[in-house]
Structure 1
Amino acid sequence: MGDDSYEPVYSDSELGMDKKISRRDFLDGMAVAAGAMAVSGCAAGEWGGIHDKVVEPPDGWSNAGRGNSSYPPAMTGLRGSTNPALRIPHELRDGIFWNGDRQITATGEHYDLVVVGAGISGLSAAYFYRQAHPNARILILDNHDDFGGHARRNEFHPNGGLIVGYGGSQSIEAPSVWSPVAKKLLADLGIEVKKFDKYYDQGFNGRWKLNDSVFMTNDLFARDHLVVMKEDKLTAGSFKNAPMPAEAKAAFLKLQDKPDDYMPGLSEAAKKAKLVELTYREYLRDYARMPGEVLDFLQTFTSDEWGFGIDAFGAIDSWASGYPGFDGLKLNASKPYKYCGPTIQIQWNADDPYIYHFPDGNNGICKLIVGKLIPGTGAPATMEQEPLARIDYSKLDVPGNPVRLRLNAPCVRVRHKGGDVGAKTVDVDFYRDGKVYGCTAGGVVMACYNTMVPYLVQDLPSEQKQALFYGTKLPIIYAMVQLRDWRAWERLKIYHTRFTSGDWCVAELDYPVSMGGYKFSKDPGQPILVHMIRMATAPGYRNPRGGVGPGRRELFNRPFERYERTLRDQLTRLLAAGGFDPAKDIQAITVNRWGHGYALEYGRPWATFWPDGPLPSVVGRRKYGRVTIANSDSQNRAYADAAVDAAWRAVQELEASSKP
């Protein structure tokens, strides 16, 4: 995953590449400049210099997809971070935006708060500030054509109906261990997570006898082969006809079911200390002595959840996560180990099922916040109304409203009045329709990517800028594929598969959620969405940050046909034995491109500063006068609760700075 070596097995005609589909949403040959600052989000000198030119993409900077731009969730073409959304940030990054004569047109607008970024964190910050100041005037700016950040809604309309999917942030994960602040936000929005016990069809897979699976790919093994689990576990029966040597099969099953103590003679403390120094792959190779076939079989085991493979994921976190191979060590797991990653520590005793999911993922949270902030937009008032609620985007930025959400308006500069960090007013400049406009604010919350903040708040201390640059996000692609039916999945008895290699690491049936008037597919003859995941961080780097630049370069430079071709090919390789015909069965595709996707979570062995510090996220999020920072990067956790917690902290810091 993360390279361009994938070779399709089927021909274009077999894959239906010549067939018209109702929605072909692909990246059209994005050829963004590929230097270090462009692809890594790092300061000049770490992986190269700053650009002086932004390369024109083949499909043009104006291409934001096709369809009615007044309702972005139903647009076709490139979604996620579209070309227009990228252009101005990239010009700022390359130091060329302010070249020439840039006139700033004063809007005359003054706001108590300006929020830069309309994702979960930015919307939450606006909500928290409005709670504390009911009469406050707030402006939210975003460079994208839709709100929600990575929490995006994808709509499909088969046969005049409606299927809703998600283009990014999936679920309310482990709500039992959310902070009191984050739990209260859910309650304020009317989100009762216990209701998902009914809304999420937890018996769906059992009723249709669907299983988890692994697809062994022919570049690593003798042939393609689908390994179907039994009760979500691999068995000898699963491997019966698998193209893997008998000794490798036996080694894996022993590793999974009854592993030895692979660190004999070491005390518990010494074992844990040694795991801190190893990646999962190193532990399996050097201590468990797994054969190469087992290492290849497991390489993508961590890709979906963490954004990179077992060659970069830590052994200590693999033990804590219950991954195969550690039971024989007999380690005490009664409490978190200090060197485990932050999310693992937070969720240590959580036992929540993975069911807390709106049909459009965490865009549901965003829509409910919008409803609280801006009445009259068509936003839902209750969680049950959310799936069918249709936002009127023309009502998001209405003069006279106390809260305004301004899309397609990238912030280009934030500076205290007169350059005095002690000033009580902040100048905020933004770009729209070819011009730069200026407004003022009593305070600003930067809820954009960490790596953009130094370009916008240019007088930040150097140490803080460097820490912000460290928070480069992991590149990902989320594709939603509308199928005519899911008979092939039912015949093969699978609902999810992990590919051992290839462009896409996961293909899975969408989550079976029915709520309000929205109904999930009832039987295999009905249309359904398939979620496909591509983690673009390049493999082969012990520190995952090293794979971000090459992975992002490849992601941005690849022509759109290649996304379609590899997606169709991997689905066909997976499902052909079940009667799947891509030319007939694929009805629509949406590709959500996130060059800056998951917030990078700290973990050993690569993050040697974890947990004792100093942590780049903590240094980077320092308050700067009346400017504070809120985003999941600032918490170094790619989770909705992290975004909410960051928003609360940023607003509290603003409140403190306002007190005499």
Structure 2
Amino acid sequence: MSGDNSYEPVYSDRELGMDRRISRRDFLDGMAVAAGALVAGGALSGCAAGKYGGIHNEVVNPPDGWKYAGTGDPAYPPAMQGLRGSTNPAMQIPHKLRDGVFWSGDQKINASGEHYDLVVVGAGISGLSSAYFFHQQNPNAKILVLDNHDDFGGHARRNEFHPDGKLLIGYGGSQSIEDPTVWSPNAKKLLADLGIEVKKFDKYYDQDFNKRWKLNDSVFMTRDMFPNDYLAVMKDDTLTAESLKSSGMSPAAQAAYLQLQDKPGDYMPGLSDAEKKLKLVDLTYRNYLRDYAKMPEEVLNFMQTFTSDEWGFGIDAFGAIDSWASEYPGFEGLKLDNSKPYKYCGPTIQIQWDADDPYIYHFPDGNNGICKLIIGQLIPGTGAPRTMDEEPLAKIDYSKLDVAGNAVRLRLNSPCVRVQHEGGNIGSKTVNVDFYRNGKVYRCTAGNVVMACYNTMVPYLMQDLPQQQKEGLFYGTKLPIIYAMVQLRNWRAWEQLKIYHTRFTSGDWCVAELDYPVSMGGYEFSKDPDQPILVHMIRMATAPGYENPRGGIGPGRRELFARPFERYERTLRDQLARLLGAGGFDPAKDIQGITVNRWGHGYALEYGRPWATFWPDGPLPSVIGRQPYGRVTIANSDSQNRAYADAAIDAAWRAVQELEGKPSAEQQAVPVP
């Protein structure tokens, strides 16, 4: 997808309804980036992220202030709308630390008087799982979980809407329990301990919904690549000659694509199975399609966003070897052996090699359901659910998350600013944890710390880490993404067009889809096209044009944070109007609410060929970066270089085991000077 401001709406602001109020609409801007301002030099000795990540070269300077966090009641964040996710207040202190200016003033350290057996930095799935595992092994432990956001869950975020008093539940990030049959024993046990029985989703997820309403997958071919906007509706999840014949794609390109999809040839004749695979290891998907399958430019453009929503970047950076393993178009004719995982495929593809689970294991609020159930186990009196069936309608009382006297406390709006062993001595039994709250820096002490935050932030919080470890942590910079939830008055236009999902070939947003049809625990999904519904839209903000996706992360992230909510809203309305207009959709009256979940640090970047030449033999930056340091260990999905809930849970388990003095074999094998 585009990583810049090049998208130009087709419809006027009036036609899009930009002059109409939607529920709690607000036009306050997101963070703007001051062009040309360089990172403060020398403020962070040994923390020159630009040297290793190549992305931090501008100082954030929001002219409209740091207070905007969306609209609605901050006492109950899930129902807030507007620009959410990583909000301006949540990013202020981390960016000051990154830019080397936070400690430049006279920052007094105020003793909080608190001591904990464990402090966890980060309240996402990995952080909450760390607290859970530690508490399970140490039932009398006192635990504090800190987070810079106003809501828990990290990217596993709940979005609520209330059209005419009806509750609609959506998700702002981490979607589903994907392929649970191949989860690790520890991750499976956590689900079981929380009472999550995935087989119940066989009933809760309406697997006949699309069939009953005759809804199909589709591709929206955009007017900047083709003569006109055109909706190509699939049949049985496959494009056909009939669906493409009026698209404006040239007959030769149509024939080439259909050949690639339906009956690809052997584009590497004369090579053995092993030789073909090694060739694919060194190619991007786009290069394979261009240089071996000989696809015309129209087909390459048509497929550019094919991988965007799943992997975070387009076919110009995604590897051909993983495209083959994912059964994307163009490889069947190679007749490659897929009886066992191929060593050069990415980690998730290898883990899920033989998995055949349906994509149905989804709480209405996505994996925020896992987080709420963990809180239900750890913190009494919050209103958190105790069973999976209670989860959808359970309403958290956020004022009860951080209560003195509770064994486990969750403290939001409290970014960690420094973690250091007492006296700077790695052998100390005490770790000082400084955090920022209500304009002041406070210090608590801990016997142990798990850093479950973005791993690229860890070197700013722990400046005494070994240099090699800092470099490993910086390398894991996350992919920028935006998940928007759009509340519609009805879904009649989708029913008229017979679609439930579309991929845009270009534009600001790469996907628009009806929410997943899950009804459980007293919550009911929309039963009729005239009822309100949520639409999920995805924008992968990694800038295109880089065969190494890391090159597109910085430009994409800067553009993401520079945008006001108004611009997200305008392009979102425009693409929905173009997609659904022929079905009678009117964005001015049919869109009733918008929540834009902005994640500058979104998907953990999964290692893959051809760009990650160190994969799989190593040394792996994630393994170097996550080594224990004294009484501090490192979790988060970053440390597993996989953007999945099970990876976040596995990281938590490993980090807690390391605190308990049980080092892994890999830890012993990776020296860190």
TM over 0.5: yes
Deviation of 1:67 after TM superposition, in Å, equals 1.9
| 8 Å Cα contact 2:52-2:475 kept in structure 1 | no
Aligned to 1:28: 29
Which deviations, in whole Å up to 9, do the C-alpha atoms of 1:310-362 show, x marking residues without a partner? Answer: 00000000000000000000100000100000000000000000000000000
Structure 1 residue aligned with 2:406, among 384, 401, 404? 401
Q: Specify the SS of the correspondent of 1:597.
A: strand
| 8 Å Cα contact 1:374-1:403 kept in structure 2 | yes
Aligned to 1:180: 185
| 1:652/1:25 CA distance change after superposition, 3 Å | farther
| 8 Å Cα contact 1:36-1:549 kept in structure 2 | no
| 8 Å Cα contact 1:190-1:382 kept in structure 2 | yes
Instruction: Report the aligned-residue RMSD.
Output: 1.5
Q: Specify the SS of the correspondent of 2:252.
A: helix
Q: Specify the SS of the correspondent of 2:435.
A: strand
- Measured in 1, the distance between the counterparts of 2:246 and 2:83 equals 41
Aligned to 1:14: 15
- Measured in 2, the distance between the counterparts of 1:483 and 1:328 equals 43
Structure 1: 4+ residue segments shifted above 4 A: 33-38, 46-54
Q: Specify the SS of the correspondent of 2:223.
A: coil
Structure 2 residue aligned with 1:60, among 56, 65, 83? 65
Query: Which consecutive residues of structure 1, in runs of 5 or more, have no partner in the other structure?
Result: none
| 1:58/1:551 CA distance change after superposition, 3 Å | same
Aligned to 1:569: 574
Deviation of 1:44 after TM superposition, in Å, equals 3.4
- Measured in 1, the distance between the counterparts of 2:229 and 2:333 equals 32
What pairs with 1:525-604 in structure 2 (closer than 5 Å)? Answer: 525-604=530-609
Aligned to 1:420: 425
| 8 Å Cα contact 1:572-1:581 kept in structure 2 | yes
Deviates more, 1:314-323 or 1:558-567: 558-567
Letter of the structure 1 residue corresponding to residue 10 of structure 2: V
Q: Specify the SS of the correspondent of 2:609.
A: coil
Letter of the structure 2 residue corresponding to residue 16 of structure 1: G
Which deviations, in whole Å up to 9, do the C-alpha atoms of 1:559-616 show, x marking residues without a partner? Answer: 3221111000000000000000001100111101000000000000000000000000
Q: Specify the SS of the correspondent of 1:301.
A: coil
State yes or no: 1:213 paired with 2:218: yes
Q: Specify the SS of the correspondent of 1:424.
A: coil
State yes or no: 1:626 paired with 2:654: no
Aligned to 1:317: 322
| 1:225/1:172 CA distance change after superposition, 3 Å | same
Letter of the structure 2 residue corresponding to residue 72 of structure 1: P
Aligned to 2:501: 496
Q: Specify the SS of the correspondent of 2:95.
A: helix
| 8 Å Cα contact 1:26-1:564 kept in structure 2 | no
Aligned to 2:169: 164
Deviates more, 1:20-29 or 1:212-221: 20-29
Aligned to 1:3: 4
Deviation of 1:3 after TM superposition, in Å, equals 2.1
Deviation of 1:373 after TM superposition, in Å, equals 0.7
| 1:629/1:579 CA distance change after superposition, 3 Å | same
Letter of the structure 2 residue corresponding to residue 24 of structure 1: R
| 1:353/1:51 CA distance change after superposition, 3 Å | closer
Which deviations, in whole Å up to 9, do the C-alpha atoms of 1:145-196 show, x marking residues without a partner? Answer: 0000000000000001100000000000000000000000000000000000
Structure 2 residue aligned with 1:468, among 448, 473, 490? 473
| 1:427/1:531 CA distance change after superposition, 3 Å | same
User: Percentage identity across aligned positions?
Assistant: 81
Letter of the structure 2 residue corresponding to residue 86 of structure 1: M
Letter of the structure 1 residue corresponding to residue 11 of structure 2: Y
Deviation of 1:29 after TM superposition, in Å, equals 4.1
| 8 Å Cα contact 2:39-2:59 kept in structure 1 | no
Aligned to 1:615: 620
| 1:272/1:477 CA distance change after superposition, 3 Å | same
- Measured in 1, the distance between the counterparts of 2:247 and 2:502 equals 15
Which deviations, in whole Å up to 9, do the C-alpha atoms of 1:483-528 show, x marking residues without a partner? Answer: 0000000000000000000000000000000001000000100000
Under a length normalisation based on structure 1, what TM-score does the superposition of the two structures give?
0.97
Which deviations, in whole Å up to 9, do the C-alpha atoms of 1:97-127 show, x marking residues without a partner? Answer: 1112111111111000000000000000000
Deviation of 1:54 after TM superposition, in Å, equals 4.2
| 1:388/1:47 CA distance change after superposition, 3 Å | closer
Aligned to 1:142: 147
Deviation of 1:271 after TM superposition, in Å, equals 0.3
State yes or no: 1:459 paired with 2:461: no
- Measured in 1, the distance between the counterparts of 2:57 and 2:330 equals 46
- Measured in 2, the distance between the counterparts of 1:509 and 1:265 equals 45
Structure 2 residue aligned with 1:43, among 38, 46, 49? 49
State yes or no: 1:334 paired with 2:361: no
| 8 Å Cα contact 2:230-2:247 kept in structure 1 | yes
Deviation of 1:388 after TM superposition, in Å, equals 0.4
Q: Specify the SS of the correspondent of 2:410.
A: strand
Deviation of 1:59 after TM superposition, in Å, equals 3.1
| 8 Å Cα contact 1:417-1:427 kept in structure 2 | yes
Q: Specify the SS of the correspondent of 1:110.
A: strand
Deviation of 1:26 after TM superposition, in Å, equals 6.7
Aligned to 1:606: 611
Deviation of 1:236 after TM superposition, in Å, equals 1.1
Letter of the structure 1 residue corresponding to residue 644 of structure 2: Y
Letter of the structure 1 residue corresponding to residue 90 of structure 2: A
Aligned to 1:118: 123
- Measured in 2, the distance between the counterparts of 1:453 and 1:117 equals 11
Under a length normalisation based on structure 2, what TM-score does the superposition of the two structures give?
0.96
Aligned to 1:655: 660
What pairs with 1:194-273 in structure 2 (closer than 5 Å)? Answer: 194-273=199-278
Deviation of 1:70 after TM superposition, in Å, equals 1.0
Q: Specify the SS of the correspondent of 2:414.
A: coil
Deviation of 1:49 after TM superposition, in Å, equals 9.3
| 8 Å Cα contact 1:498-1:506 kept in structure 2 | yes
State yes or no: 1:356 paired with 2:361: yes
- Measured in 1, the distance between the counterparts of 2:346 and 2:355 equals 15
Deviates more, 1:522-531 or 1:27-36: 27-36
- Measured in 2, the distance between the counterparts of 1:308 and 1:639 equals 16
Q: Specify the SS of the correspondent of 1:388.
A: coil
Deviation of 1:30 after TM superposition, in Å, equals 1.8
| 8 Å Cα contact 2:55-2:554 kept in structure 1 | no
- Measured in 2, the distance between the counterparts of 1:289 and 1:50 equals 38
| 8 Å Cα contact 2:307-2:318 kept in structure 1 | yes
Which deviations, in whole Å up to 9, do the C-alpha atoms of 1:513-566 show, x marking residues without a partner? Answer: 000100000010000000000000000000000000110111111232211110
- Measured in 2, the distance between the counterparts of 1:589 and 1:48 equals 33
- Measured in 2, the distance between the counterparts of 1:489 and 1:276 equals 40
Aligned to 1:379: 384
Which deviations, in whole Å up to 9, do the C-alpha atoms of 1:439-490 show, x marking residues without a partner? Answer: 1000000000010000001100000001100000000010000000000000
| 1:109/1:142 CA distance change after superposition, 3 Å | same
Aligned to 1:369: 374
Deviation of 1:238 after TM superposition, in Å, equals 1.2
Q: Specify the SS of the correspondent of 2:333.
A: helix
What pairs with 1:471-486 in structure 2 (closer than 5 Å)? Answer: 471-486=476-491
Which deviations, in whole Å up to 9, do the C-alpha atoms of 1:2-42 show, x marking residues without a partner? Answer: 2221111111111111011113367714214567879xx97
Deviation of 1:46 after TM superposition, in Å, equals 4.3
- Measured in 1, the distance between the counterparts of 2:473 and 2:386 equals 37
- Measured in 1, the distance between the counterparts of 2:163 and 2:333 equals 51
| 8 Å Cα contact 1:24-1:590 kept in structure 2 | no
| 1:29/1:109 CA distance change after superposition, 3 Å | closer
Letter of the structure 2 residue corresponding to residue 505 of structure 1: C
Letter of the structure 2 residue corresponding to residue 87 of structure 1: Q
Q: Specify the SS of the correspondent of 2:548.
A: coil
Letter of the structure 2 residue corresponding to residue 220 of structure 1: M
State yes or no: 1:520 paired with 2:521: no
Letter of the structure 2 residue corresponding to residue 106 of structure 1: A
Counting matched residue pairs gives 655
